[in-house]
């Protein structure tokens, strides 16, 4: 029954969204190389005012004002196009590679702003969905991003962070409601995190409440540093 529903869902999606570049419409891929190069990285001059004290730093790869990137994220998340996880994760990996280069430059200004020397043994952890929401969507978009992202580097991936309470969708809430909505929402049951650095991955950050609550959970289990890494500020 589940397989039949999955095949029906895939058939409907193929009808609604034929495989063609979301940027230029050429057939055969979701994002062609030319349009991939058009995606804009976030500008350092933007101030996002996210409330994420439990994170050592949050890295925002792209700009939601970039119409192509915003369209990809929306179709990935809300139109169930899981295949968009690969080009979006590649964009995330390219951004992160640039950040690593900056962090190693012998430039005091760059080092002060991008001090992300990542030690060996750092671990990639996606922000989880509740079981109910993941069943509804058919996948966890953050997990796809994290898996594809980790494949570009030598970081291990862990799915030990779990969402233990099903809450209202954050997108429908204001800032105060978002903070309250995610309290106590996570638990960790993975490998030992004592002294380790975690890169916590999600698709977008709006207020930062979800990332911050997840980071608090990871720190309580011994993580020494927790960085947030997202595609864009929603």
pLDDT in tens, 58-75: 999 999 999 999 999 999
Q: Let me know whether 64 and 4 are in one domain.
A: no
Residue 207, phi then psi, degrees to nearest 5: -100, -20
* Range of the structural domain that residue 8 is part of: 1-38
Cα dihedral: 216, 218, 219, 225 (round 10)? -110
Q: Percent of the chain, pLDDT > 90?
A: 62
pLDDT attached to residue 49:
79
- Report how many domains make up the chain: 2
Q: Let me know whether 112 and 5 are in one domain.
A: no
Position 101 confidence tier, pLDDT thresholds 50, 70, 90: confident
Q: Let me know whether 224 and 196 are in one domain.
A: yes
pLDDT attached to residue 184:
86
Question: Tokens 């976030």 — which residue?
Answer: 42
Sign of CA dihedral 214, 90, 105, 124: positive
Q: Let me know whether 101 and 147 are in one domain.
A: yes
Find the CATH number of the domain harbouring 134.
Answer: 3.40.50
Q: Let me know whether 32 and 58 are in one domain.
A: no
Q: Let me know whether 122 and 219 are in one domain.
A: yes
Answer whether 116's CB lies under 8 Å from 61's CB. no
| CA 12 to each of CA 71, 115, 140: distance values in angstroms, whole numbers, following the listed order | 19, 46, 20
Q: Let me know whether 179 and 64 are in one domain.
A: yes
Q: Let me know whether 103 and 174 are in one domain.
A: yes
pLDDT value at 2 more than 90: no
Q: Let me know whether 113 and 181 are in one domain.
A: yes
């Amino acid at each position: 029954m589940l397989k039949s529903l999955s095949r029906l869902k895939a058939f409907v999606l193929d009808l609604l969204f034929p495989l063609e570049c979301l940027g230029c419409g050429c057939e055969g891929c979701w994002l062609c190389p030319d349009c991939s190069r058009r995606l804009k990285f976030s500008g350092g001059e933007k101030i996002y005012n996210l409330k994420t004290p439990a994170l050592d730093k949050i890295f925002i790869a792209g700009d939601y004002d970039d119409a192509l990137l915003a369209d990809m994220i929306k179709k990935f998340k809300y139109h169930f196009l899981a295949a968009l996880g690969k080009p979006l994760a590649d964009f995330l990996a390219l951004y992160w590679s640039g950040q690593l280069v900056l962090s190693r430059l012998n430039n005091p200004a760059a080092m002060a702003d991008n001090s992300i020397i990542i030690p060996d043994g750092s671990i990639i952890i996606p922000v989880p969905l509740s079981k109910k929401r993941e069943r509804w969507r058919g996948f966890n978009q953050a997990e796809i991003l994290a898996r594809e992202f980790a494949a570009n580097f030598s970081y291990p991936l862990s799915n030990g962070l779990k969402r233990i309470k099903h809450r209202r969708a954050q997108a429908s809430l204001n800032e105060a409601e978002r903070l309250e909505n995610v309290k106590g929402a996570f638990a960790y049951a993975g490998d030992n995190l004592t002294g380790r650095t975690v890169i916590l991955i999600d698709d977008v950050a709006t207020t930062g409440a979800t990332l911050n609550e997840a980071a608090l959970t990871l720190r309580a289990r011994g993580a020494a540093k927790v960085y947030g890494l997202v595609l864009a500020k929603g």
